[in-house]
């Protein structure tokens, strides 16, 4: 039976080839990734959400427990299959695997913030890959033993939607690889990326106690393009939050503000600064005690130095506070951005006790005093 044997041999060959192709596709999502130059920064429609999703929010942290029928009615089909039925999109097929825009990645099903662009790295696996999540609550994990593999599934921290898997072959500093489905993510560029005239921009670095508080206020001021939380004025290069808290780095918690000086100006920036923190307290703001909480203005040029000294003198002369202002006015040298989970802390953690009890009152005080100047 030579023909039957040949048929069986050909059939077996076909099965082996098919198995090989399938295995290669599955294993490619587990392999060590290497950088690629095939990147894409071109602005594009990176939104995967459906316009009629009433649960979509970047600020609502309430857990979502919706029925499968509801999810099916509010999500586009491909997103629904990935998010609710753990489907995997084809490698190299999504919009975001080689995308390099600067901004934030959100859950496409519910809008929950998941990753920052500076935690994304070039990966040849064909899916968008990140070495760090935005916030400890951004995602949840569960074991996944499908396909005879022991993997860790990554789910959205708010809606529980399937996002992808976590592997231990990412780059430093975490050596993690959050291998995500592109369709499960929405990308929104930072506002500063869409601002056109860089010449109208100015930068100032201010320390007014806990940077979560100061950042939350300036994010709301008209004319402010971006606010980053970090550290300045110390001796340690690239300090961590933990090191700064220990008080040995001499850094202050600061915010670095980029603003459009055709919409706001240094004078208004300083007025806000002296409204939302107590500049008469030495090395503390309320219950936050330590040199990292000192009141300080880091000036970049003569104009900023003169403006800072002038407003301090004016406030002291007018006896606005019952004690003299202790705010230091120092030359700016270096700004070190704090870890990602410190950025936009108030917006991302509104239900935390510190946010409700300490930050929210400062934001409300600002909103009352500058009600015509809120974005």
Q: Is the dihedral of CA 37, 40, 46, 48 positive or negative?
A: negative
Cβ closest to Fe ion, residue 58 vs residue 337 = 58
The span from the CA of 340 to the CA of 132, in Å, is 9
Give the interface with Fe ion as residue ranges (CB under 5 A). Answer: 107, 109-110, 112, 156, 158-159, 161
- Active-site hit among 110, 156, 179, 355: 179
State the minimum distance, in angstroms, from the CB of residue 144 to Fe ion.
18
107 is catalytic: no
The span from the CA of 259 to the CA of 271, in Å, is 14
Write out the two tokens for 368. Answer: 């009352």
Cβ closest to Fe ion, residue 188 vs residue 243 = 188
State the minimum distance, in angstroms, from the CB of residue 69 to Fe ion.
18
Cβ closest to Fe ion, residue 109 vs residue 224 = 109
- Length in residues, the chain: 375
Cβ closest to Fe ion, residue 114 vs residue 272 = 114
State the minimum distance, in angstroms, from the CB of residue 104 to Fe ion.
14
State the minimum distance, in angstroms, from the CB of residue 158 to Fe ion.
5
Cβ closest to Fe ion, residue 111 vs residue 230 = 111
State the minimum distance, in angstroms, from the CB of residue 41 to Fe ion.
26
- Active-site hit among 210, 213, 245, 355: 210
210 is catalytic: yes
* Catalytic sites, residue numbers: 179, 210
């Amino acid at each position: 039976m030579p023909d039957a044997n040949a048929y069986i041999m050909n059939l077996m060959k076909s099965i082996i080839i098919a198995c090989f192709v399938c295995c290669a596709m599955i294993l490619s999502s587990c392999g060590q990734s290497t950088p690629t130059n095939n990147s894409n920064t071109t602005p594009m429609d990176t939104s995967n959400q459906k316009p009629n999703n009433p649960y979509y929010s970047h600020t609502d942290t309430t857990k979502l427990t919706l029925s499968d029928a509801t999810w099916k009615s509010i999500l586009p089909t491909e997103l629904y299959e990935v998010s609710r039925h753990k489907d995997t999109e084809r490698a190299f097929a999504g919009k975001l695997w080689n995308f390099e825009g600067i901004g934030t990645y959100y859950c496409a099903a519910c809008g929950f913030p998941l990753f920052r662009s500076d935690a994304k790295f070039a990966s040849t696996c064909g899916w968008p890959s990140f070495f760090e999540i935005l916030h400890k609550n951004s995602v949840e994990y569960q074991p996944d033993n499908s396909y005879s593999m022991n993997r860790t599934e990554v789910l959205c921290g708010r809606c529980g939607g399937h996002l992808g898997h976590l592997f231990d072959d990412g780059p430093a500093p975490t050596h993690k690889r959050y291998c995500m489905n592109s369709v499960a993510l929405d990308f929104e560029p930072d506002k500063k990326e869409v601002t056109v005239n860089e010449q109208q921009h100015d930068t100032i670095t201010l320390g007014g106690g806990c940077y979560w508080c100061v950042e939350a206020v300036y994010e709301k001021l008209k004319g402010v393009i971006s606010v980053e939380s970090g550290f300045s004025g110390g001796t340690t290069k690239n300090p961590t939050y933990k090191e700064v808290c220990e008080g040995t780095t001499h850094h202050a918690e600061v915010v670095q503000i980029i603003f459009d000086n055709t919409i706001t100006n240094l004078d208004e920036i300083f007025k806000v600064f002296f409204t939302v923190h107590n500049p008469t307290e030495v090395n503390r703001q309320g219950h936050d005690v330590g040199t990292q909480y000192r009141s300080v203005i880091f000036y970049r040029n003569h104009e900023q130095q003169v403006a800072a000294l002038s407003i301090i003198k004016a406030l002291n002369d007018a006896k606005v506070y019952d004690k003299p202002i202790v705010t230091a006015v120092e030359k700016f040298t270096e700004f070190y951005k704090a870890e990602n989970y410190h950025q936009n802390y108030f917006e991302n953690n509104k239900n935390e006790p510190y946010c409700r009890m300490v930050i929210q009152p400062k934001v409300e005080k600002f909103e009352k005093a500058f009600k015509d100047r809120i974005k």
